[in-house]
Amino acid sequence: MQRREFLAGLAAISASALVPDVLTEAQTRPATTPFRIDVHYHGNSPGFIAAIKAHNTGQTALMNWTPTKALEDMDRDAVATVIMSTSEPSVYFGDAAAARALARECNEYFARLVSDHPARFGMFATLPLPDVDGALREIEYAFGMLNADGACFMSSYEGKYLGDPAFAPVMDELNRRKAVCYTHPFRGGMINMLPDGRALGVTLSTETTLTIQSILYTNTATRCPDIRFIWSHGGGTAPYITSRLGAAVGPDGKPNANLAALQKFYYDTAQAFNPYTLATLTRVVPMSHILFGTDYPFAQAATVAKGLADYGFKPADLRAIERDNALELFPRLKRN
């Protein structure tokens, strides 16, 4: 089946049968026309919700997510488009075949939402890593048949970070496709280092930093120059410990390879919209590489937008962060 036929078939299927509570395009709009593009946004397929319930992950906000509520909140907070991704722990729970099936279910569910609402939803393809063969097959299907906007990684899989040689075939394929690759931190073993789950925030930030270091240390960033990496939560702690990452300005006054790579990456604003974080992030990262991200449904777009507005960005820079930078990564949205 060709991609056009497949997507036409999706459009022809009743939304009430496949996505039972999606709002119609005739819904009432607020006075402020939605314009923001949220790149750190967790959509949740029925299969993924069932999986995290079965594994008792405690992620109630994900379990309660619905397309209807999502669109209502997007309109309320002036969000035009969200690029959906599957949150951690993603789809691998120790069974490669089950992970492949769940990744496919997530991706086809996202594709139906995008087909029904192409201006409101985009999708990062869910990959069944650490199963490399399964991931390569899903990349072919998600990009070739579902027209995914990019791919979604976790920061690590069974203790292996993204620069690990085991994942090189996946990186090479995504580089060949010039893919946008969003990465979400995985709650690793550090989560239990403090009582009552208090280590979660530090764990997630550290996971992102470790996988960035892995990408730098293994030269994956330079070997795969056409991957556009997006790092969650302002890059974890990476922008604030550049010397520890070997990132510096050379004697000639130019960034060395590691600093150049850090400045080429993209970073979202989820949990990174306070003045202390932004002060350093904006010193290290070009304004053109900062993207609006919320961590919905764990956080609301209005909260992030207020933090960015309060920081005092120039209007053009704020517009770039909230919308224009994402349009360069996802040019199809310019046509919607």
Asked if the structure places residue 14 within a domain, the reply is no
State which residues form the domain around 38.
Answer: 32-335
Instruction: Tell me the C-alpha distance between 322 and 326, whole Å.
Output: 8
Cis amide bond preceding 195, omega within 30 = no
Are 124 and 148 contacting, i.e. CB atoms less than 8 angstroms apart? yes
Instruction: Tell me the C-alpha distance between 121 and 153, whole Å.
Output: 19
Output the domain CATH number for residue 282. 3.20.20.140
Asked if the structure places residue 133 within a domain, the reply is yes
Asked if the structure places residue 8 within a domain, the reply is no
Asked if the structure places residue 244 within a domain, the reply is yes
Asked if the structure places residue 154 within a domain, the reply is yes
Asked if the structure places residue 6 within a domain, the reply is no
In Å, what is the CA distance from 101 to each residue of 105, 128, 135, 265?
6, 9, 11, 31
Are 182 and 152 contacting, i.e. CB atoms less than 8 angstroms apart? yes
Are 121 and 110 contacting, i.e. CB atoms less than 8 angstroms apart? yes
pLDDT at residue 336 in the model: 64
pLDDT at residue 203 in the model: 81
What is the domain count for the chain? 1
pLDDT at residue 157 in the model: 96
pLDDT at residue 17 in the model: 40
Give which of 249, 169, 238, 168 is closest to 204, Cα–Cα.
Answer: 238
Asked if the structure places residue 247 within a domain, the reply is yes
Asked if the structure places residue 121 within a domain, the reply is yes
Angle at Cα 160 formed by Cα 222 and Cα 146, nearest 5°?
70
pLDDT in tens, the chain (336 residues): 455 555 555 544 433 344 444 343 333 344 479 999 999 999 999 999 999 999 999 999 999 999 999 999 999 999 999 999 999 999 999 999 999 999 999 999 999 999 999 999 999 999 999 999 999 999 999 999 999 999 999 999 999 999 999 999 999 999 999 999 999 999 876 666 777 766 677 888 889 999 999 999 999 999 999 999 999 999 999 999 999 999 999 899 899 999 999 999 999 999 999 999 999 999 999 999 999 999 999 999 999 999 999 999 999 999 999 999 999 999 999 876
